[in-house]
Chain A
Amino acid sequence: MSVDDAFAVALKGVTFQRGSRKIFDNVSISFPRGKVTGVMGPSGCGKTTLLRLMAAQLKPEKGEVWVNGQNLPTLSRSDLFDMRKQFGVLFQSGALFTDLNVFENVAFPLRVHTELPDEMIRDIVLMKLQAVGLRGAIDLMPDELSGGMKRRVALARAIALDPEILLYDEPFVGQDPIAKGVLVRLIRLLNDALGITSVVVSHDLAETASISDYLYVVGDGQVLGQGSPDELMNSDNPRIRQFMQGIPDGPVPFHFDAPDYRDDLLGGR
């Protein structure tokens, strides 16, 4: 059994828990090849955990994680190492090497994973930086870059090895409106032009909905809903509506579970 060719990545019946808390409980999510799929949900709902399961940094207690026809939990260590070359990851923090300039940051995966001569590495680094609009920043150090520029350099590094699947972990967090707009445009452009399968994990509703071909809303260890952005915006499901419309209280309560307030204040102390 293997995942349908239409899907680059598919989680089937995945259960993952930390201690007694189930992060995912028998969850199935598929990511269509060559499309942008958004995964949304409130903070702490397991979005980053989902990416780590897809990149085989975590192993599920139960279920299958298929990537391009391979079920990750069954792969050997060396097969996993090869499989990971199919992934590019834009980390939430950007994760640039602070002691390397922009050029060396983007060149890093090429130097580690290939035996290309320096002149070709230089060509590819210049090409990737041109694609994100930062070829002129080649000699700058990370601490000389704005937050938005750091994210774009990290994106150039994430696509240095021409990955088939690109994972974006909260790409819009901490970005100003212009930088968000640039990232939205780049994610869509890279996806469409290079045929990449993009997975955008985010709680930034407007940006993620604007670039996603398909959306999942996750929470409470489940897939709460899925569909096109329009379908989810108009959902009758109160949990999805609360999230999509940013309503502070509802099925997802404003208050974290707590003992009775009166008892806490007046009872027995």
Chain B
Amino acid sequence: MSNDSVTLEDGVLRIQGVLDYRSGPLLRKQGQELIRSSKADNLEVNCAAVEKSSSVGLALLLAFMRDAEQGGKTVKLTHLPLDMQKIAEVCGLTEILNIAP
């Protein structure tokens, strides 16, 4: 049973599980609905519980950033795992993603 999910609590959007081509479409919908429903002006997208990610994980983050911008919210990415950081680096995303130290 897959544990892949996006949840929102106190302005923190938590992504959990394996981010790949199977989980991507559902996680995209979950995150979009949660960001739209959030009243917070500043969102943290927390990736501490990501077990493994392909490029789909980075595409999810970009989609969530667009959702937040459309809703006038700011986004901060935290706890990006090493595999996501490496993909971001190879694909030139490091400066575009607002990754908190």
| Residues of A participating in the B interface, judged by any CB pair closer than 8 Å | 110, 113-117, 119-120, 123-124, 127-128, 130-131, 161-162, 189-190, 193-195
Number of interface residues of B (CB under 8 A): 22
Which of A114, A193, A194, A195 is close to B24, meaning CB atoms less than 8 Å apart? A114
Complex interface: chain B residues within 8 A of A113 (CB): 21
Q: Are A120 and B91 in contact (CB under 8 A)?
A: no
Q: Are A116 and B63 in contact (CB under 8 A)?
A: no
Q: Are B55 and A124 in contact (CB under 8 A)?
A: yes
Complex interface: chain B residues within 8 A of A130 (CB): 91-92
Q: Are A120 and B63 in contact (CB under 8 A)?
A: yes
Q: Which one of B2-10, B37-45, B69-77, B82-90 is at the A interface?
A: B82-90
Instruction: Tell me whether B49 is interfacial, beta carbon within 8 Å.
Output: no
Considering the chains assembled together, what is the distance between the CA atoms of A123 and B24 in angstroms?
13
Instruction: Tell me whether B60 is interfacial, beta carbon within 8 Å.
Output: yes
For residue B61, which residue of chain A has the nearest CB? A123
When A115-B25, A162-B54 are in contact, do A193 and B59 touch as well, CB less than 8 Å? no
Q: Are A131 and B92 in contact (CB under 8 A)?
A: yes
Q: Are B93 and A124 in contact (CB under 8 A)?
A: no
Total contacts A to B, CB within 8 angstroms? 60
Considering the chains assembled together, what is the distance between the CA atoms of A221 and B27 in angstroms?
49
When A123-B58, A123-B59, A127-B58 are in contact, do A189 and B25 touch as well, CB less than 8 Å? no
Q: Are B90 and A116 in contact (CB under 8 A)?
A: no
Q: Are A193 and B90 in contact (CB under 8 A)?
A: yes
Complex interface: chain A residues within 8 A of B87 (CB): 127, 193-194
Name B22-81 residues within 8 Å CB distance of A.
Answer: 24-25, 28, 54-56, 58-60, 62-63, 66
Which of B60, B62, B63, B86 is close to A194, meaning CB atoms less than 8 Å apart? B86
Which of B55, B60, B89 is close to A162, meaning CB atoms less than 8 Å apart? B55
Q: Are A120 and B60 in contact (CB under 8 A)?
A: yes
**Can you report 19 residue pairs joining A to B where beta carbons are below 8 Å apart?**
A110-B21, A114-B21, A116-B25, A119-B63, A120-B59, A123-B58, A123-B63, A124-B59, A127-B55, A127-B58, A127-B91, A127-B93, A130-B91, A131-B90, A131-B92, A162-B55, A189-B90, A193-B86, A195-B86
Complex interface: chain B residues within 8 A of A190 (CB): 90
Q: Are A194 and B28 in contact (CB under 8 A)?
A: no
Complex interface: chain B residues within 8 A of A189 (CB): 90
Which of B25, B54, B55, B92 is close to A117, meaning CB atoms less than 8 Å apart? B25
Please give the distance in Å from A87's CB to the nearest CB on chain B. Answer: 15
When A117-B28, A123-B62 are in contact, do A161 and B91 touch as well, CB less than 8 Å? no
Complex interface: chain A residues within 8 A of B21 (CB): 110, 113-116, 161
Complex interface: chain A residues within 8 A of B86 (CB): 193-195
Which of A116, A131, A194 is close to B59, meaning CB atoms less than 8 Å apart? A116
Complex interface: chain A residues within 8 A of B92 (CB): 127, 130-131
Q: Are A128 and B55 in contact (CB under 8 A)?
A: yes
Complex interface: chain B residues within 8 A of A110 (CB): 21
Complex interface: chain B residues within 8 A of A124 (CB): 55-56, 59
Considering the chains assembled together, what is the distance between the CA atoms of A101 and B55 in angstroms?
22
Please give the distance in Å from A38's CB to the nearest CB on chain B. Answer: 22
Please give the distance in Å from A124's CB to the nearest CB on chain B. Answer: 5
Q: Are B25 and A193 in contact (CB under 8 A)?
A: no
Considering the chains assembled together, what is the distance between the CA atoms of A125 and B56 in angstroms?
11
Query: Which 7 A/B pairs are nearest by Cβ-Cβ distance?
Result: A127-B91, A162-B54, A123-B59, A114-B21, A120-B59, A193-B90, A130-B92
